[in-house]
Structure 1
Amino acid sequence: MQTRQRRISGAVVVAACGILALVAGCSSSTPATKEHDTKPTASRSADPDSPASPRTSPADLKPVPSQRLRGYLLATDDLGPGYTQTETPDDEKAADPHRYDDIGMSGCPALEELGKHSDEVQFAAKTSAGFTFGTDSELGEELHSDTPSKLSSGLRRLVHAQTSCPTYTMTSGSTPVTVTVHKDAAPSPGPDAYAFTTTLNGPRGTSVLKTAVVRRGNVLVTLVGAPALVDRHIKAAVAKLPSA
């Protein structure tokens, strides 16, 4: 069976990110911070590591508004030659909130159970970007923000559900795809750093995608795509996040 990379969209994204795609990210719609929340205020706009806010502790950090969150995304200059940006933060405004309605999962009780309580793992703000490398490889990035405690608990719950079932079945329309997941070494020190590789076997062949997720303070970053690209750029993605 032929192994190849596919575009990071639709069924592939959902399978690669599992419940992350359906309820908290990976190109799904999550509650965005309201426009009035993006206006500077003394308590919300100050950078936690700036001299103007010396008493801010990680537990006190508030969600970063989506508009400001976009400044922490990777850009082609960060990635190097050969990359083309295919998705910008503004693209999600036009995304169809029902585009995953025909995608389902079976054979993984943890994912199915978490899907029933998706409202419990929604984060306050989100932004994303996508890139291609060459003709077949793609890299997708998402940033989410909320209070550190909510990000931490939500992320642990999401990743546990995703990696609790080594194999399950996903359907895209009426087409079954067998999904196999295995854990990888954490991409960064700390309790909220995870990585796993997803293999998708379906009528069109086999695809292998890697997902790496790291939380720093009130922001978490997710990279998903060709395993070599995720491994190469996860450190740069984490380095662009605000200091915790």
Structure 2
Amino acid sequence: MLATALCGVLITGCGGGGGDDDAKAKPAAEPKPLADGALRPLLLSQADLGDGYVQEKASSGEFDDVAVQGCASLEKLEQNGDESMFASKAEISFTYNTASTLGEELHSDRPSVLSSKLRELFGAYTSCPTYSMTAGTTPIEVKVAKSATPKIGDEQFAYTSTMELPSGAQVLKTMAVRKGNVAVMLVGAPALVDRHIETAVDKLPAGS
């Protein structure tokens, strides 16, 4: 999907006169990442979304040659690659009434890793209010603004990007919510992302 975008935990403690047992206490182990196969059943389905949605075929890689210019943090992210940021991943995408799109990615890793890397990812994408990109030989001007998020899950991130394409302006919203060791990310028409983010988060396991 064109312009798909696609995080630290600070533990403090204070005590008055704790004994040796307190000093030896270890923090609880973080939940381990879920496997790819465990993520796939948690993806949104046509039944979850309702009428008018059609699942798209797997990406053909037509936008693999996207390059960013004019935003140092995004260029660095692009060089490092974000496909291997997390331990596991599952994804799906839909069209709505043949005109709008909605893509979903699920990522799993230890909660502290998800948190720090999501902050890094969304921090990079919102660090430059404007930048340029090319898809093949097509130049695209992009404007980015942070967006409000519902108070669901453990952490929430969102931004809206407006891309000036040869066919006209296209607005996409990217929103991610972390719930324990799983993060859901929706990308698509802003109204569709806002409409389905809570459903997507509700599908995540309560103990994740």
Partner of 1:78: 48
How far off is 1:117 after superposition?
3.0
Partner secondary structure for residue 60 of structure 1: coil
> Contact 1:187–1:195 at 8 Å: present in 2 too?
no
Partner of 1:138: 101
Partner of 1:207: 170
Alignment RMSD: 2.1
User: Do residues 180 (structure 1) and 143 (structure 2) align?
Assistant: yes
Q: Which amino acid aligns with 2:178?
A: R
How far off is 1:191 after superposition?
5.8
Q: Which amino acid aligns with 2:102?
A: L
Q: CA offsets per residue over residues 33-66 of structure 1, 9 Å max, x none?
A: xxxxxxxxxxxxxxxxxxxxxxxx9852111011
How far off is 1:115 after superposition?
2.7
Q: Which amino acid aligns with 1:211?
A: T
Partner of 2:203: 240
Name the structure with the higher strand share: 2
The 1-side partners of 2:107 and 2:143 are apart by 26
The 2-side partners of 1:197 and 1:209 are apart by 6
Consecutive unaligned residues in structure 1, runs of 5 or more:
1-8, 21-56
Q: State which of 129, 140, 158 in structure 1 corresponds to 2:92.
A: 129
Q: State which of 49, 65, 68 in structure 1 corresponds to 2:35.
A: 65
Q: Which amino acid aligns with 1:201?
A: E
Residues 152-231 of structure 1: pairs in structure 2 closer than 5 A = 152-189=115-152, 192-231=155-194
The 2-side partners of 1:130 and 1:197 are apart by 18
Q: Between the two proteins, what is the percent identity of the paired residues? A: 52
Q: Which amino acid aligns with 1:61?
A: P
Partner secondary structure for residue 62 of structure 1: coil
Name the structure with the higher helix share: 1
Go from structure 1 to structure 2 and tell me whether the alpha carbon gap of 1:238 and 1:58 turns closer, same or farther (over 3 Å shift).
Answer: farther
> Contact 2:153–2:201 at 8 Å: present in 1 too?
no
How far off is 1:242 after superposition?
1.2
> Contact 1:181–1:197 at 8 Å: present in 2 too?
yes
Go from structure 1 to structure 2 and tell me whether the alpha carbon gap of 1:145 and 1:163 turns closer, same or farther (over 3 Å shift).
Answer: same
Residues 108-119 of structure 1: pairs in structure 2 closer than 5 A = 108-118=71-81
